[in-house]
Amino acid sequence: MTRHSSDQISFQKLLSLTPKEPLWRIDWAAIWALWAELPMLDHCPQDPEHHGEGDVGTHTRMVVQALVDDPDWRSLEDLEKANLFWAAVLHDIGKPGVTRHEEGGRITSRGHSRLGASIARSLLRDAGVPFAWREQLCGLISAHQLPFWLIERDNPTRLAIQTSWRCQPNHLCLHARADAQGRICTDPQTIQENVILAETTFEEAGCLTSPYTFANAESRVAYFEREDRDPAYPAHEDFRCEVTVMAGLPGSGKDTWLSKHRPDLPVVSLDAIRVQTGHPPTGNQGRVVQAAQENARDYLRAGKDFAWNGTNVTRQVRAKVLRLLRDYGARIQIVYLEPSPDCLRQQNASRPAAVPNGVIEGLVRKLEPPELWEAHGVEYIVPEKMAVSGHS
């Protein structure tokens, strides 16, 4: 995918293009020129039953206009307004990649929310926007369809509580309201009523404007992994050991961070195992992971604190590591490092065994930074200019 130069795009540029009073003007020409992915939306069809307005580009402009016209959006703080505005601009950015024509003339785009969050993350990472602001936006994109069907699920309260730890629900519902208004469909009233009911569900669960408050960290972690947990139950915290799980792209500085902040901690390192066994960083990593797990079990059985050092940049990969540690009763602290793209390239190039750029680019496309619900503690090490406070 051809991208416009990231030198042309910055956080300040995005803020300057966010509509402002008194005119609340949307500069579509400037917005559509930012990234090559946006003009593609004008040529991406949608199912006429749900999107009689036509292509994704038309829908996107209708959604954004509905959002900007909403008094509730206009009353938000400037950074919040900008976050929701760009979430609306990018909310369907994943549709061209998954749109399919099926039998009977139907058009589907299953999986576009997750893919869209990934694309948005990559675009905004290259632009150097603040980490927390970016992740809040990506959380909105990944969950943007949820208010349409939340109330129809078997346990909407549980899903509402979980969602509150992924994005800010009142903002999610505000976006969904604009998404419902920005379309021509066969059942507009039902969609809008479902959004209202979703907002009520979040409010009744006590998590409309912030993450649900659990009794302690173990209560939170257990709630996300077990369907039968009562969210109000104060889980007993009695850990056999503490494990620091490093996460970050190759060259992000994980070894350096451990040597500085955990100098006496034994380390289970996937890189070290590769060096010892002569296994390349590309290809099947099954044997490397198996060896790491065996080393980790030795520490876990002995109840000894240690660090697990690997990339762990996708939720699927992290989940396997975290499951092993949970099975042995460990307290888990994730430390995620994300230097700027330029710094990452320089640090990777200076490593004794630099990871090929193609491998890193592939990981960037899959990148899913750890979320606060995944472990007992999550620490984000990002450049100071990216460390804008916010719920992520």
For the chain, 392 residues long, give each residue's pLDDT as a single digit of tens.
344 444 479 999 999 999 999 999 999 999 999 999 999 999 999 999 999 999 999 999 999 999 999 999 999 999 999 999 999 999 999 999 999 999 888 999 999 999 999 999 999 999 999 999 999 999 999 999 999 999 999 999 999 999 999 999 999 999 999 999 999 998 889 999 999 999 999 999 999 999 999 999 999 999 999 999 999 999 999 999 999 999 999 999 999 999 999 999 999 998 888 888 877 766 677 888 899 999 999 999 999 999 999 999 999 999 999 999 999 999 999 999 999 999 999 999 988 878 888 889 999 999 999 999 999 999 999 987 555 433 33
How far apart CA 156 and CA 199 sit, in angstroms, is 11
CATH of the domain at 139: 1.10.3210
Q: β-pairing, 306-309 with 107-108?
A: unpaired
pTM score of the predicted model: 0.92
Torsion from C-alpha of 58, 130, 341, 164, nearest 10 degrees: -70
Would you tell me the crossing angle of helices 156-163 and 217-225 to the nearest 10 degrees?
130
In a domain, 266, yes or no: yes
In a domain, 352, yes or no: yes
Kindly state whether residues 17 and 129 are assigned to the same domain. Answer: yes
**Predicted local distance difference test score (pLDDT) of residue 316:** 95
Identify the DSSP state of 231.
Answer: T
In a domain, 214, yes or no: no
Domain with 112 in it:
6-204
**Predicted local distance difference test score (pLDDT) of residue 321:** 96
How far apart CA 325 and CA 48 sit, in angstroms, is 48
Of the residues 204, 226, 253, which one is the last residue of a structural domain?
204
Kindly state whether residues 190 and 289 are assigned to the same domain. Answer: no
Q: Would residue 349 be called left, alpha or beta, if left means φ above 0 and alpha means ψ between -120 and 50 degrees?
A: alpha
| 374-388 b/e (C-beta count within 10 Å ≥ 16 → b) | bbbebebbbeeebeb
Tell me which amino acid residue 357 is: N
Kindly state whether residues 26 and 136 are assigned to the same domain. Answer: yes
**Scanning the structure block, which residue is given the tokens 């697990």?**
308
In a domain, 234, yes or no: no
**Predicted local distance difference test score (pLDDT) of residue 387:** 52
Of the residues 153, 176, 204, which one is the last residue of a structural domain?
204
How far apart CA 260 and CA 314 sit, in angstroms, is 25
How far apart CA 65 and CA 278 sit, in angstroms, is 56
Kindly state whether residues 154 and 302 are assigned to the same domain. Answer: no
How far apart CA 197 and CA 195 sit, in angstroms, is 5
Kindly state whether residues 200 and 248 are assigned to the same domain. Answer: no
Kindly state whether residues 39 and 183 are assigned to the same domain. Answer: yes
Q: How many domains are contained in the chain?
A: 2
Kindly state whether residues 195 and 277 are assigned to the same domain. Answer: no
- Output the furthest CA–CA distance in the chain (Å, rounded): 66
Kindly state whether residues 287 and 358 are assigned to the same domain. Answer: yes
> Where are the alpha helices (H) located in the chain, listed in sequence order?
11-17, 28-32, 37-40, 56-69, 71-74, 78-90, 95-98, 112-127, 131-142, 146-149, 156-163, 169-181, 188-204, 217-225, 254-261, 270-277, 286-302, 315-327, 341-349, 357-366
Task: Give me 339's structure tokens.
Answer: 């230097």
Of the residues 176, 204, 232, which one is the last residue of a structural domain?
204
Kindly state whether residues 131 and 256 are assigned to the same domain. Answer: no
**Predicted local distance difference test score (pLDDT) of residue 202:** 98
In a domain, 131, yes or no: yes
In a domain, 273, yes or no: yes
In a domain, 342, yes or no: yes
**Scanning the structure block, which residue is given the tokens 């990472």?**
125
Helix (H, G, I), strand (E, B) or coil at 377: strand
Kindly state whether residues 150 and 254 are assigned to the same domain. Answer: no
Kindly state whether residues 179 and 30 are assigned to the same domain. Answer: yes
CATH of the domain at 278: 3.40.50.300
Residue 296 φ then ψ, to 5°: -65, -40
Kindly state whether residues 173 and 252 are assigned to the same domain. Answer: no
In a domain, 67, yes or no: yes
